[in-house]
Structure 1
Amino acid sequence: MGVQTDQTAHDEASTTPTGCPVSGPSAAADVDLARALDTPFPWPRGRFDPPAEYGALREKCPVARAKLADGRPVWLVTRYDDVRAVLTDPRVSADETDPGFPGMGPRAGTYSKMDDPRHAELRGLVARNFGIKHVASMRPAVQAMVDQAIDEMLATEGRQVDLVPALALRIPANVLGNLLGVPVEDRDHFAEQIQSMLDNGNPLDTEAQERSRRIAEEVYAYVGELIDRELARETPSDDIIGQLAAAHRRGDISHKDAVSSGFLIIGAGFDTTANAAALGVLLLLTHPDQLAKLKADPSLLDVAIEEVLRWLSHVHLIIARVATDDIEIAGVTIPRGEGIMPLNASANRDESHYPQAATFDIERRARDHLAFGFGVHQCQGQSLARMELSVIFETLFRRIPELRLAVDVDEIELKTSARIHGVRALPVAW
């Protein structure tokens, strides 16, 4: 046996298991990658930015082996092209029942965590509700909802409100309530449950995870009640719950599939849009030069929304995969059966794809961002989310052009450890 020299020990200590150097000069000079990769993943993000470790990984170790809180290995893929490659590789699975799948929340058996052909079959049952034409037909109703919410804001004494319940949560809750068929009297409580379920999703906090699991069970049971009520109706409704119940009546899907599909649409379509709306307003208010451009030229709205989505990448710990065969990404072999996190929040800040990626620029044309994922599992409700954000931003800044933060930005609490980044409260004034 040879004698290990100090230099040999240093070399071993300064590389990852993939052989990537993790010490030495780096653009992210304050990041200790060796320590980070020995710390359970995920890592907290900044106020707006992804974890600083992502930038260092893109530069020095774009495919790195980390570990989850339970000790299982997980491969972090950080560059734009590599993330896209993972999300279209047939040797990569979204099946959450695989022992190596790096799930970070309660398992719900939804089609987003299944592979084709079953994934495509269940997704196809509700696809028409999220098509571009159908979403466009919903816009007048969403406009009326936003106008009513802003009317109530403007009537508030003191000219100050918390924008989260006043607008950001209210609109997606009502849009999804109409789309799904949730009774009006249940929507406020229902929205609170969904928000609490996702807010308690810190993957490193076992107590929070348990709270999230319990709330998820309650929400799942409620969706089951909605399906059962629909099955008992003589005249079927044409909302999503009605469509899922009809598919069950025909024998196309099981009762469990009907419930889990409804549960997925609620979780995926509510909190994601609500957090994008609140964070997006905060982002624009803290970048007054960009907001001034948008006010001066409203035709920039669509490209501005894409930049908001790219820059925030607020749905950042949901996309997870597992290798079903040995695969090579960027010269690194990921063994069969090990989990993969294709980090869309990192990919969207990749300087090699987006020059000056850390700069928020509403004139950047970033429609190819990965905020909604990529490939066959790309977010089904993205057209609906874009439309809701468009109506909210356009109407809010047109009707209340003097909108401003009512507190110092440092006083605003953000969900930096949640799987869906967001803001807990957003006091604004005018």
Structure 2
Amino acid sequence: MNAVADIDVTSSALYDEGNPWQTLERLRRQSPVHWYQQPGYEPFWLISLHEDISWVSRNTEFFSHQQRIGVETPDEIDPWELERERRGQLYGHAADYPAGLGLMDAPVHGQVRSAMYPCFTPKATEARGKRLTELAEGYVADFLAALDRDGTADVAHLLSAKLPLAAMFELIGVPEEDWDGLFDAHRDTASAFHQDYADADPEAAVQRFLAAMGYLDTYFTGLVNRRMAEGGGQGDDVLSRLVRARVDDEPLAFHDMSYQLFNLVQAGNGTTRNAIAGGIRALLENPDQLRLLLDDPSLIDGAVDEIIRYTSIAITLVRTCVKDTEIRGQKIRKGESVALFFPSGNRDEDVFTDPDAFDITRKPNRHVSFGGNGMHRCIGAALAREEIKAMLRAIVPVLPRLKLAGDPRMLVLRMLILEYVKLPVERKEK
């Protein structure tokens, strides 16, 4: 009998209170390349070891990004399918069109990525550190005012939600007067997928999702059209660079540019926002680590990477095998899917000493949270680090006076990311 045959990694119950660490440990030890088959899901190979996740990520000769990137769950397919169909009808392409950098294969991926990458280099991102800290300090001040007014305040919605969006809006060239409407729309894109977000009427939640997606599409296509009319100019923001970009000596279609902007904002917001929330939670639950950081601010870079590893907000990315290959003796055939489970790779005992401990002094810290290695490594990795660092600079001095107020609530969105529904805090009694 297969000792791991009963494992159900697509069960939301495993994720509601955090990552399923014990379940993933069983897979690493007993079935690291695991054929996963449950009713209602397309079967896939579940890859749980750090080494194998990195290998699949690097070997684009064998694994394609274009067909699919996520494990779809039955309750979550319809809204996204409707959105893909709507986009295809609107712009005249198939529903499986690679609408974003993460769905592109070489050589197009490299050409589009190179057009945007100057905005995301470590040097360019570091130069924005002062501005990010200014934004973070403003959001912390607003959060503390709400905390004093109401007695409790939700980190997930009142503190961590705005900085990643604001940072990306500035980077892609969105005027600041448009930010508030976009903040609200991005919040509503999650509303169709969990009872803690959804309306009493599930159909109303789906309609709110579709309305939010329509708003975002309309906004970004309008922004692209205006910038195209300007010819891109000499601007150094992402959109200006996309307008000037050439792929196979042809300019990008306007809908391709809007897809890139939409996906940059969605991906950067979801992961970084929840990593900030998870990092604040980790520091509150590990006061010894908080004290280390307070006593020695030079540990901040290590704290950022440990937060990214420990929270492991990105759960899976799926790749499609395009050429027969083998991983640890298991035959992976052309057409089969492999799902890279990053939380498992980030707790691999062969790579990390005491992997379940939150340790801001951990060195080395070779986590795979940004999609492993290879050409699809997250383009915004340096930006995410700088955003988390900015928020830590602003919030860490006040954390010793705060404590959790009730149990945090988490959910899993489409098996792609962990989402904080709520993370309430209150002031400690004096």
The bucket for the TM-score relative to the shorter chain is 0.7 to 0.9
Give TM-score scaled by structure 1 length: 0.82
Go from structure 1 to structure 2 and tell me whether the alpha carbon gap of 1:382 and 1:255 turns closer, same or farther (over 3 Å shift): same
Residue 377 of structure 1 and its aligned partner are, at CA, apart by 0.4
Q: Which segment drifts farther, 141-150 or 272-281?
A: 141-150
Distance 1:46 1:164 in 2: 15
Residue 343 of structure 1 and its aligned partner are, at CA, apart by 1.0
Q: Does 1:96 align with 2:81?
A: no
Residue 95 of structure 1 and its aligned partner are, at CA, apart by 3.1
Instruction: Extract unaligned runs of 5+ from structure 2.
Output: 85-97
Residue 263 of structure 1 and its aligned partner are, at CA, apart by 1.4
Kindly provide the CA deviation profile for residues 140-192 of structure 1, in whole angstroms up to 9, marking residues without a partner as x: 11111122223334444446433334331121121111111223232122123
Distance 2:298 2:62 in 1: 40
Distance 2:35 2:218 in 1: 38
Q: Say which SS state the counterpart of residue 278 (structure 2) adopts.
A: helix
Q: Say which SS state the counterpart of residue 35 (structure 1) adopts.
A: coil
Residue 244 of structure 1 and its aligned partner are, at CA, apart by 1.9
Higher relative contact order (CA 8 A, sep 6+): 2
Q: Could you tell me which of 125, 128, 132 is aligned with 2:122?
A: 132
Q: Is the 8 A contact 1:94 1:112 kept in 2?
A: no
Distance 2:231 2:103 in 1: 33
Distance 2:401 2:226 in 1: 43
Instruction: Determine which structure has more spread, i.e. the larger CA radius of gyration.
Output: 1
Q: Which amino acid in 2 is paired with 1:127? A: Y
Give TM-score scaled by structure 2 length: 0.82
Go from structure 1 to structure 2 and tell me whether the alpha carbon gap of 1:393 and 1:211 turns closer, same or farther (over 3 Å shift): same
Q: Which amino acid in 2 is paired with 1:141? A: R
Q: Which segment drifts farther, 89-98 or 362-371?
A: 89-98
Q: Is the 8 A contact 1:162 1:425 kept in 2?
A: yes
Residue 337 of structure 1 and its aligned partner are, at CA, apart by 0.3
Partner in structure 2 of residue 64 of structure 1: 34
Go from structure 1 to structure 2 and tell me whether the alpha carbon gap of 1:300 and 1:110 turns closer, same or farther (over 3 Å shift): same
Q: Does 1:86 align with 2:56?
A: yes
Q: Could you tell me which of 122, 127, 136 is aligned with 1:146?
A: 136
Q: Is the 8 A contact 1:248 1:255 kept in 2?
A: no
Distance 2:279 2:5 in 1: 34
Partner in structure 2 of residue 227 of structure 1: 224
Q: Say which SS state the counterpart of residue 424 (structure 1) adopts.
A: strand
Q: Which segment drifts farther, 207-216 or 255-264?
A: 207-216
Kindly provide the CA deviation profile for residues 220-269 of structure 1, in whole angstroms up to 9, marking residues without a partner as x: 33211110121233773442222223337984322222121111211111
Q: Is the 8 A contact 2:66 2:105 kept in 1?
A: no
Q: How is 1:21-420 mapped onto 2 (pairs within 5 angstroms)?
A: 22=3, 33-36=4-7, 44-45=14-15, 47-50=17-20, 52-67=22-37, 70-97=40-67, 103-104=71-72, 106=80, 109-156=99-146, 157-158=148-149, 160-198=152-190, 200=192, 215-233=212-230, 236=233, 237-247=235-245, 251-317=250-316, 319-374=317-372, 375-398=374-397, 400-408=398-406, 410=407, 412-416=408-412, 419-420=416-417
Distance 1:43 1:330 in 2: 30
Go from structure 1 to structure 2 and tell me whether the alpha carbon gap of 1:417 and 1:252 turns closer, same or farther (over 3 Å shift): closer
Q: Which segment drifts farther, 223-232 or 115-124?
A: 223-232
Distance 1:235 1:122 in 2: 15
Query: Cα RMSD over matched residues?
Result: 2.8
Higher strand share: 2
Q: Is the 8 A contact 2:100 2:260 kept in 1?
A: yes
Q: Say which SS state the counterpart of residue 34 (structure 1) adopts.
A: coil
Partner in structure 2 of residue 3 of structure 1: none
Distance 1:272 1:304 in 2: 17
Residue 42 of structure 1 and its aligned partner are, at CA, apart by 7.2
Q: Say which SS state the counterpart of residue 389 (structure 1) adopts.
A: helix
Distance 2:320 2:211 in 1: 26
Q: Which amino acid in 2 is paired with 1:222? A: Y
Q: Across the two proteins, how many residue pairs are aligned to each other? A: 392
Identity of aligned residues (%): 26
Go from structure 1 to structure 2 and tell me whether the alpha carbon gap of 1:248 and 1:68 turns closer, same or farther (over 3 Å shift): farther
Q: Which amino acid in 1 is paired with 2:184? A: E
